[in-house]
Amino acid sequence: KQEVTQIPAALSVPEGENLVLNCSFTDSAIYNLQWFRQDPGKGLTSLLLIQSSQREQTSGRLNASLDKSSGRSTLYIAASQPGDSATYLCAVNTDKLIFGTGTRLQVFP
Amino acid sequence: GAGVSQSPSNKVTEKGKDVELRCDPISGHTALYWYRQSLGQGLEFLIYFQGNSAPDKSGLPSDRFSAERTGGSVSTLTIQRTQQEDSAVYLCASSLGAPPNTEVFFGQGTRLTVV
How big, in percent rounded to 5, are the helix, strand and coil portions of chain A?
A: 5, 60, 40
Going through chain B in order, the beta strands assigned E by DSSP cover 5-7, 10-13, 19-24, 31-37, 43-50, 53-56, 65-69, 75-79, 88-95, 104-106, 110-114
More confident residue, A64 or A94: A64
Q: Is the pLDDT of residue B100 over 80?
A: no
CB contact under 8 A, B108 and A46: no
A95: chain B residues, CB-CB within 8 Å: 48, 55-56, 99
More confident residue, A95 or B114: B114
Measuring CA to CA, how many Å separate A3 from each of A26, A28, B31, B105?
A: 6, 11, 23, 22
Q: What distance in Å separates residue A24's CA from the closest CA in chain B?
A: 15
Task: Write the residue in A46, A52, A96 that is nearest to B103 by C-beta.
Answer: A46
CB contact under 8 A, B99 and A43: no
CB contact under 8 A, A45 and B106: yes
pLDDT band with cut points at 50, 70 and 90 for residue B1: low
Amino acid at B91: L
- Percentage of chain B lying above the pLDDT 70 cut: 97
B55: chain A residues, CB-CB within 8 Å: 95
Give the pLDDT confidence of A51-73 residue by residue, as tens digits. Answer: 999 999 999 999 999 999 999 99
Give the pLDDT confidence of A18-54 residue by residue, as tens digits. Answer: 999 999 999 999 999 999 999 988 899 999 999 999 9
Nearest CA in chain B to A34: B103
More confident residue, B111 or B101: B111
CB contact under 8 A, B33 and A97: yes
| pLDDT for position B99 | 66
Q: How far apart are CA B22 and CA B110, in angstroms?
A: 9
Cβ–Cβ pairs < 8 A, chains A and B? 58
pLDDT band with cut points at 50, 70 and 90 for residue B97: confident
Mean pLDDT of B40-64: 92
Mean pLDDT, chain B, rounded, equals: 93
Q: Is the pLDDT of residue B16 over 90?
A: yes
A53: chain B residues, CB-CB within 8 Å: none
CB contact under 8 A, A46 and B105: yes
Task: Write the residue in A46, A100, A102 that is nearest to B104 by C-beta.
Answer: A46
pLDDT band with cut points at 50, 70 and 90 for residue B39: confident
More confident residue, B102 or B74: B74
Q: What distance in Å separates residue B73's CA from the closest CA in chain A?
A: 18
